[in-house]
Amino acid sequence: MEIVDLDKWDYVSNRVKHILKFEFDNYSEKFIKRRFEVRLRILGIKSYMEYLDYINNNPDEASKLLKEMTIHVTNFYRDSTVFDLLRKELLPRLINQAYLEARPIKIWSAGCSTGEETITVAILLDQACRNYGRWIRHTILGTDRDKQSVISAISKRFFPEQFKEMPKELIDKYFDQHDDYYEFKGIRNENIRFEVGDILSAKTPNNLDLILCRNTVIYFDNSAKSKLYEKFFEILKHNGFLILGKTESLIGPARDKFESYNLHEKVFHKN
């Protein structure tokens, strides 16, 4: 799609930023333009200025663009090999450490969307505790900047298509099936929280054992990524783990601070 007034981009993007009250400076310009262009194609608009007029005259368009900017694609057990590594290696290590130090395990799912990743980790932690016969208290925090996604996560209700990669035995054990949805039953020692928050600016917990930030920062610019990875390093406990998305890599000073634990699965170790 050819935009006829490319020179108006800076003006229009700044105006839309003000209207949406959405700070997208940390996102790459290429990503933001693609999100705009999705809406322009749908509306048959070929001008940034015309689109700005359309937003001003159609208040509901702002929410549609914001939804496009914060689009979420997620399901249970997405990238199953990562969760297999968690189940077999990482969570048993964290359980042993916490048991020896007589303390709870603290986990942060950053960019949790509608909660599938957060609850999957809770289930695998419960499974690991059962296997080792050690019931460890734990706190699992899921945060996302999209309020509607967080509201959905809090309900802990999910549709069948969200389970396409999850082992059936886990579905049967941890979810109640209703007519057209599944509801998470809850688990022993459960302390799962969901909150609205931006991973760059929101207050986050300290002394974490595990941070999952998968496919959340791929559209951030390098400066924002560098600051975020340093932040992750600071709030992780010694021997804590960071898991990124398969297409993401550490950059900036954090690259030299973290130790690679499993490069293929993008798991990094604070050692």
pLDDT at 76: 86
Amino acid 189: pLDDT:
60
* Predicted pLDDT at 62: 86
Strand order across the 157-158 sheet: 157-158, 182-184, 175-177
Q: Around Cβ 181, how many Cβ atoms within 10 Å?
A: 14
Q: Please report how the helices 29-43 and 9-20 are oriented relative to each other, as an axis angle in degrees rounded to 10.
A: 80
Q: What's the confidence (pLDDT) of residue 101?
A: 93
β-bridge mates for residue 108, sequence order: 141, 211
The two beta strands, 138-144 and 105-110, are parallel
Q: Cα(150)–Cα(131) distance, rounded to whole angstroms?
A: 31
Place of tokens 């932690």: 125
* Buried-exposed string 241-259: b where 16+ CB fall within 10 A, e elsewhere: bbbbbeebebeeebeebbe
Taking only the tens of pLDDT, the chain with its 271 residues reads: 577 778 889 898 888 888 877 766 666 777 788 888 888 988 999 899 999 999 999 988 888 887 777 655 567 887 889 999 999 999 999 999 999 999 999 999 998 988 999 999 999 999 998 888 888 889 999 999 888 889 889 999 888 878 888 889 999 999 999 988 899 987 766 689 999 988 887 778 899 999 999 988 877 888 989 999 999 999 999 999 999 988 889 999 999 999 999 999 999 999 8
Strands 259-262 and 267-269: antiparallel
Phi, psi of 206 (to 5 degrees): -105, 175
Q: What is the pLDDT of residue 1?
A: 59
* Residue 270 near residue 236 (C-beta atoms within 8 A): yes
CATH superfamily of 80-269: Vaccinia Virus protein VP39 (3.40.50.150)
| Amino acid 191: pLDDT | 86
Q: Please list the residue range(s) of the chain that carry CATH number 3.40.50.150.
A: 80-269
Cβ–Cβ under 8 Å, residues 70 and 145: yes
